[in-house]
Amino acid sequence: MKRISSAISQTAEWTCAARACSFCEKNPFFHSDDGIAPLLLPSFAKPLLYVPMVRALYRHFACAGLYPYVIARTKYIDAAFQRALVENFDQILIFGAGFDTRALRFKLNRTKVFELDAAVTQQAKRGQLAKRNLAIPPNLTFIAIDFDTENLEDKLVSSSFQAGHQTLFVLEGLLMYLEPASVDGTLRTIKRFAGAGSLVVFDYLYASVIRKEHLFYGEAEAMASVSKAGEPWQFGIERGEVAEFLAGYGFALRDERDASALEEMYFKDSNGRKVAQVNAAHALVTAERNEEP
């Protein structure tokens, strides 16, 4: 698994800013519940997000459909996270956690949460939490990893993360940035560690986006943006083939939502009118660990 290890990910910062902006939205379709995200931004930024014109400018200059997509993705994965807590999963492992705040926003009870990311990003996040006097929950563990030099499985083994336990694996905004070999290694590691009833929730790009076939709303603009940030998209799955893809790693597809389905879930008013268009290059997935034969 390879990801930025020497600098804070710009896409992680943008995602945090989008969540912060969404929290300040008055429109219920655009509002989401990440009240910690504004606190992770520079101190001057939070007051600005409460100015309607500033939020309007942010939405205007965001890549086509990406802001609604991040809102939908946040809500979708929030629901999976809450489900794992309600069902008393033993563990939650967040890959490439960036500025994820779910371990602070949700009551963890007995579930242990592990955040895996580069040390530089974790240090920036923990620094902001300390500045805001936000305590780190006792059952949240940070696992720092240099993706260029350290082995993912070794890092998990050396932490208190347990193999064979019921676990939610969260890979949010991650797979598309990895090389295919790194995706394969990551999912094989998840297979080895996942106990019965484990779930994996992730988003992915369609392979045609990587081939630059320009079939979907917003894909070209978004691809140009992440490339400019030095974090180009590298991996996709053929549309309609995610179930087969997951089966190769011991998981069964339980739910898949493309842009149209996300618009139906989160951006339709009472009259059935669509209030936002979601970037269509992505899909969201929930899958469950198959029982071993």
The per-residue pLDDT for range 108-140, each reduced to its tens digit, is 999 999 999 999 999 999 999 999 999 999 999
The residues spanned by each domain of the chain are: 10-289
Q: How far apart are CA 77 and CA 95, in angstroms?
A: 13
Other CB atoms within 10 Å distance of the CB of residue 103: 23
Backbone angles phi, psi at 226, to 5 degrees: -70, -30
Given this model, what pLDDT does residue 5 score?
55
Residue 14 has pLDDT above 80, yes or no: yes
Query: Residue 158 — left, alpha, or beta (φ > 0 → left; ψ -120 to 50 → alpha)?
Result: alpha
Greatest mean pLDDT among 46-60, 74-88, 139-153? 74-88
Per-residue pLDDT of 178-222, as tens digits, reads 999 999 999 999 999 999 999 999 999 999 999 999 999 999 999
Beta-ladder partners of 113: 92, 140
Beta-ladder partners of 203: 284
Given this model, what pLDDT does residue 42 score?
85
Q: How far apart are CA 222 and CA 15, in angstroms?
A: 13
Total-model pTM: 0.94
Q: Which CATH class is domain 10-289?
A: alpha beta
Average pLDDT of the chain, as a whole number: 92
Q: Residue 242 in contact with residue 285, Cβ under 8 Å?
A: yes
Residue 7: pLDDT band by 50, 70, 90 thresholds? low
